[in-house]
Amino acid sequence: MSKFKPVELEYEEVDGILYPKIQISNDVKDDERPVGKYGRMRLKYLKEHKYYMYRELLVNGELMEHCHKINDETNKMAMLIEEQYIERNPISEECGFMDRVRYYNIARSVAEEVVLSDIIFTNN
């Protein structure tokens, strides 16, 4: 039994060839709104590694909505993880400017590594 549902498509004839009428999103606002860093990463991952999921989302007009949702979730989760890292690993008051920059870059890298593996590069 297939987990994919059949889709009824409309076709448009151009020069004797039928082309399916496919739109990236059901919502016009989604097409105008930028996808964001993590949404673009998810889109690339789907195209390269989960092609059937990518095609299903594309044909159903849910691709951009999916990418926006992933981008929003990932940004929120990354901020939360970064805050928790900083809270659990406080930096000393005597640290210099460059040490603080390194510290915050490490917190951001930890958060990004987690969200990439848990959200962007998953089967969902």
Cα separation, 27 vs 22, whole angstroms:
13
Task: Please indicate, yes or no, if residue 58 is contained in any of the structural domains.
Answer: yes
Task: Please indicate, yes or no, if residue 68 is contained in any of the structural domains.
Answer: yes
Question: Residue 26's domain spans which residues?
Answer: 11-120
pLDDT tens digits along 12-52: 788 887 777 666 555 545 557 788 999 999 999 999 999 99
pLDDT given at position 1: 45
Please state the domain count of the chain: 1
pLDDT tens digits along 59-94: 888 999 999 999 999 999 999 999 999 999 998 888
Task: Please indicate, yes or no, if residue 34 is contained in any of the structural domains.
Answer: yes
Residue 20's H or E segment, with its range, is: strand 17-20
Task: Please indicate, yes or no, if residue 4 is contained in any of the structural domains.
Answer: no
